[in-house]
Structure 1
Amino acid sequence: MLSRTASELYWMARYLERAENIARVLDVTNRLSMMPFRETGHQDLQVPLNLTGSGTAYWEYYQQLTMPGIFDYFALDTRNPSSIYSCLQSAWSNAHAVRGSLSSEVWESINTAWIEMKRLRKEGVNSSNADDFFDWVKERSHLFRGAMFGTMLRNDAMSFIRIGTLLERADSTARLLGVKNQLLDNDPDAVREHYRMDTLLRAVSAREAYHSIYKQQLVREMVADLLILRSESPRSLRSCIEEVVNQLELIGGHSANAPRRLAHVLHAELRFSTLDDVIDTGLQRWLTGFLSQVNAISESIQYTYLEAQ
């Protein structure tokens, strides 16, 4: 496969996953903003800014940190490269460039999402239609994955799509865990802490999984265990990296040792680590290290496969 084609497929998948992750974060932020105000109430609105590192850019265009402003900037603003609109636009552009490598069903799922996104942007997103909009974004992402698994060949094209999706998902889950951990550390209110943990699980569609596995009330350590080390959870860090390893092995290649080695090392750390190991290191420090390793894998994949040699 040409490196340019692999790059388009990889980034198409990353942008689609990013759009879904932003929708999940906005959904959680919207729910938290409805809680009774506390001294730290505005910290909840900081979550999208902290996750994407776009706080400085936000204040260039908006004078106050409000939920309507967050909706506009992260859902529809073309000036924000991490907005849902910008992500879907980039995903569509990448998909359009490699239509021949996609099944007709996969292309139609992306093309239809982009056409509908342009219509929804004209209508705007506010508190009255936010839930429907977030559900729509997640639904379009699910349709894309369903079409991909159901209609595409199990070849290199599929592998690069999967790798892009999984690396973006791992990055997003780790960042969300980090931000939420900081919020929980600073909040002495047990009710708010419980609600924040619940919304965190909702953000990654893991609420039912938590109660199925642990069969107890929400405990911060168990939430971290589920989203970091449990291979049963499809959005856990271990699950994502495990599948990245599998896809890299399928692609192979004589010059592919670097990304495979980095991925295998990280997978081994996740596979043989315990929650106590993570806690002893310090969750925030451990997540920072994990993100550094994911970035190293991404850069190695970029150099090895996606840039013309």
Structure 2
Amino acid sequence: MLSRTASDLYWMSRYLERAENLARMLDVSYSLSLMPHDGRGDGLDELAMPLLITGTFDDYLELHGQLNAERMLHFFAFDANNPASIYSCLGAARTNAHAVRGRITADMWENINATWLEMRGIAQQGLGGYGISRFCEWVKERSHLFRGATFGTIMRSDSYRFIRLGTFIERADNTLRLLDARYELLGEEDDIDDRSARAYYQWSALLRALSSFEAFAEIYRGSPHARKVAELLLLRPDVPRSLRACLEELNLILSSLPGDNGRPAQRLAAEMDARLRYSSIEEVLNGEEGLHGWITEFIQLVGQLGSAIHISYLEAA
């Protein structure tokens, strides 16, 4: 496969997964911003969380000068000048899909093209007319439909593998960043009293944002708190959005790609997978730098893996 084609497929799926992850992030922040606060912050602080996680806080302030709920929601959802907005991600995904129409199925193309056309219509209405929660659910639904069309219609060739690579790289990074943001906000308080209403709703919102609330309820007893949530989202192989589940998939996909060029990426994925496979939550939490330091290191490793994939497969020789 030509590196250009592989790159378009890879980034098509990364942008679609990123749009879904942004919608999940925005939905949980918006929901928590509506809750009563106890003097340690307000709704605007909560709505600013997606800007901080995505590194666009300074860009927003440069454009708008101050925090404002309506402007932040528009900036994050519909601003075509913000490359980290959902609008921009879906537009980029559609552009990449158009470039590789001959390598994806008609069902996949029709789904992603229809999603983009609908997105433009929703942007004209604005969140005031469409509704923020409804919009976030729509983004997630369209992403699910595309994955279903992909899984159900495309041949299991290299095209399929590069699409899946993009999905799991993006998902692993998002899970780490969301968990780190909530832990930095709640970690110390959670250690003191994991039964507090604030901690319960914050951790529950994170689990729902990652579609893992039902899994948590099935595996653990009691209210969610840092140790249990971190173990679920980092080390459980049976939770689809956990870091370990993503690394298992990445390791499997990379090992199935032909040729020797990908050995650096294959080796790094195998090392990361093995580290997660043989780690315990006690080792993660009780290490020298604690959970935040551990997550920060893995965010860097996921970035290195993405760079290794790019160099090995996506750069023109």
* TM-score, normalised by the number of residues in structure 2: 0.95
What are the equivalent positions in structure 2 for 1:1-309 lying under 5 Å apart?
1-37=1-37, 38-41=39-42, 42-126=44-128, 129-185=131-187, 190-281=196-287, 282-309=290-317
Aligned amino acid, residue 68 of structure 2:
T
Kindly state the Cα deviation for residue 2 of structure 1 after the two structures are TM-superposed.
0.3
Greater CA deviation, 42-51 or 220-229?
42-51
For the Cα contact (< 8 Å) 1:43–1:183, is it kept in 2? no
**Equivalents in 1 of 2:286, 2:18: separation in Å?**
31
Query: 2:240 aligns to what SS in structure 1?
Result: coil
Regions of 4+ moved over 4 Å: 186-189
On the 8 A contact 1:45/1:66 being kept in 2, the answer is no
- 1:266-296 superposed Cα distances (whole Å, 9 cap, x missing partner): 0001000000110012110000110111111
What is the distance in 1 between the residues matched to 2:149 and 2:101? 14
Q: In 2, Cα distance between the equivalents of 1:94 and 1:138?
A: 19
The question of whether the paired residues in 2 share the 8 Å contact of 1:52 and 1:82 is answered with yes
TM-score normalised by the chain length of structure 1: 0.97
**Identity across the alignment (%):** 47
Distance 1:181 1:141, change over 3 A: same
The residue identity in structure 1 corresponding to 2:316 is A
Shift of the alpha carbon at 1:186? 6.1
Give how far 1:216 is off. Answer: 2.5
Moved more, 255-264 or 42-51: 42-51
Q: Is the 8 A contact 2:18 2:89 kept in 1?
A: yes
Describe the superposition over 1:180-211 as per-residue Cα deviations: whole angstroms up to 9, x where unpaired: 11111365782111110010001101000100
Number of residue pairs aligned between Structure 1 and Structure 2: 309
| 8 Å Cα contact 2:187/2:226 also seen in 1 | no
1:135-186 per-position Cα deviation (integer Å, ceiling 9, x unaligned) = 1000000000000000000110000000100000000010011111111136
Q: Deviations over 1:56-110 (max 9, x none)?
A: 1010112332321221011000111010000000000000000000000011110
* SS of the residue 1:105 aligns to: helix
Do 1:174 and 1:291's aligned partners in 2 also have CA atoms closer than 8 Å?
yes
Where does the alignment leave 5 or more consecutive residues of structure 2 unmatched? none
- Tell me the C-alpha RMSD between the 2 structures: 1.4
Q: Is the 8 A contact 1:18 1:87 kept in 2?
A: yes
Q: Is the 8 A contact 2:175 2:243 kept in 1?
A: yes
- Separation in 2, partners of 1:186, 1:286: 16
Contact kept? 1:3, 1:308, Cα under 8 Å: yes
Give the Cα separation in 1 of the matches to 2:52 and 2:106: 37
CA distance 1:83–1:186, shift in 2 (3 Å): farther
Q: Is the 8 Å Cα contact of residues 33 and 67 (structure 1) preserved in structure 2?
A: no
Q: Which runs of 5+ in 1 are unaligned?
A: none
- Structure 2 distance, partners of 1:107, 1:303, is 27
Q: Deviations over 1:236-294 (max 9, x none)?
A: 00000100011111213121110000000000010000001100121100001101111
Q: How far off is 1:128 after superposition?
A: 6.7
